[in-house]
Amino acid sequence: MIEFTLPKWYDLHAHFRQGGVLEPYIKAHLDMGCAGALAMPNTKPPTAVVFEDDENNGKYWSIERYMRDLRAAGADKFKELIVPLYLTIDTSPDMIIKGAGSGLLKACKSYPPHGTTGAEYGVPTTKFMDNGVFEAMEQAGIVLCVHGEEHGLSPDHYFDYGQNAETIFYDNYMPIVRDKFPNLKIVCEHVTTKKAVDFVLGAGPNTAATITPQHLIYTIGDLLQGLKYHLFCLPLLKYSEDRQALRKAVTDPNNTQFFAGTDSAPHTTKATDCGCAAGCFTGGIAPQLYAQGFELAGVDLSSQYGQDIFRKFLCENGASFYGFNLLDDSFTLRKEDMPVKVLETSEGNVVPLPLGLKNYTLPWSIKL
């Protein structure tokens, strides 16, 4: 039986939501050996100011408040917790400098306007190139987390063979941001295309990327065959050539730039008559899914060599990019079937991705 032990890891892109559901969502992360997270700020209202005093009568939430709620709901057990600041039309260089000085602000998140769940307050990236925000972030050492998709495209440009919202974004904007702010630390979030992977590889050590389990395992064909809406997340799954580029990047023994960020995005109501909420829920099972993805990519996880490659991606590269300590606490992955269960919350049940695909067991199990 294959079994190996890893240091506890950090999920560098997760959605924990708000209110009563925080507790079960955070517990699911703790249960999968996660010792810290970047908790995404696409709350309602968006977490778009640093200090509670600046919430502007509820227009925005503050990092201060959201961190307190997260900790009260179990995130106090995390060794590291970052809530990136949601970049809006109201974000100013002064907010960045003061936030960084307080220690509460470590990262900012750029959303494409209306481009995904909770992205209504997003602002085109170009705005922050010109208004001093990226410059202040570069100076203060604040990480830029980018949801890299062009917004407002017509359907034939949004997803077509040869180009899509992500490739257009990486063609048109990222090289300019990279050149103009060479010392800005950038994480290209949940990359899905060869185009984005190639950008990251060519952009030097201040540039990194997160990759989700679903984008390592599946292609758009998996979503379309039978219209399996539990695979509907943004950015969308792409073609096998793209998945191959992702797999090659994460399985390179010299990989330093690509790391785990699950984008676990729970929705108690996934599909309705009016459409489908974007987001795959992988809380509780992400290391198991990543292990599955690495095996599909040809990594032999029974070998020390394969386990070292996996550990870099899951535990080391992201910690190093964000300046977190590698942990002595550990957990164990074992090649043994494990049942997948629905997560019950006060707002209803959440279906983890494999169950939504009618996979009732996972090939890997976890032991803390």
Nearer to ligand NCD, 279 or 306 (CB): 279
d(CA 142, CA 134): 9
Distance between terminal CA atoms of the chain? 18
| 49 touches 74 (CB < 8 A) | no
| Closest distance to Zn ion from the beta carbon of 5 (Å) | 29
| 41 binds ligand NCD, rule: CB under 6 A | no
Among 25, 42, 230, 317, binds ligand NCD (CB under 6 A): 42
Residue 320 near which of Zn ion, ligand NCD, none (CB within 5-8 Å, type-dependent): none
Active site residue 179: no
Residue closest to ligand NCD (Cβ): 279
| Closest distance to ligand NCD from the beta carbon of 159 (Å) | 14
| 263 binds Zn ion, rule: CB under 5 A | yes
Stretch that binds ligand NCD, among 91-99, 116-124, 166-174, 241-249 (CB under 6 A): 116-124
Strand order in the sheet with 9-14: 9-14, 34-39, 80-82
Closest to 86 measured CA to CA, from 38, 129, 132: 38
- Count CB neighbours of 358 within 10 A: 9
Closest to 344 measured CA to CA, from 83, 79, 20: 20
| 15 binds ligand NCD, rule: CB under 6 A | yes
Stretch that binds Zn ion, among 64-72, 124-132, 263-271, 312-320 (CB under 5 A): 263-271
| 265 binds ligand NCD, rule: CB under 6 A | yes
Number of residues that bind Zn ion (CB under 5 A): 1
H or E stretch including 232? none
Number of alpha helices (DSSP H) and beta strands (DSSP E) in the chain: 16, 22
Stretch that binds Zn ion, among 24-32, 209-217, 262-270, 351-359 (CB under 5 A): 262-270
Peptide bond into 235 cis (omega under 30): yes
Which one from 53, 198, 242, 263 is the annotated catalytic residue?
263
Helix (H, G, I), strand (E, B) or coil at 152: coil
Question: Which phi and psi angles does 8 have, rounded to 5°?
Answer: -55, 150
Nearer to ligand NCD, 66 or 310 (CB): 66
Number of residues that bind ligand NCD (CB under 6 A): 12
Closest to 338 measured CA to CA, from 325, 313, 355: 355
Residue 185 near which of ligand NCD, Zn ion, none (CB within 5-8 Å, type-dependent): none
| 257 touches 209 (CB < 8 A) | yes
Residue 270 near which of Zn ion, ligand NCD, none (CB within 5-8 Å, type-dependent): none
| 19 touches 44 (CB < 8 A) | no
The site map against ligand NCD for 129-158 (x = CB under 6 A) is ------------------x-----------
Residues 217-246 that bind ligand NCD (CB under 6 A): 233-234
d(CA 199, CA 245): 12
| Closest distance to ligand NCD from the beta carbon of 117 (Å) | 3
d(CA 43, CA 8): 27
| 84 touches 42 (CB < 8 A) | no
| Closest distance to ligand NCD from the beta carbon of 98 (Å) | 27
What are the residue numbers of the active site?
263
The footprint of ligand NCD (CB under 6 A) covers 15, 42, 116-118, 147, 233-234, 263, 265, 278-279
The footprint of Zn ion (CB under 5 A) covers 263
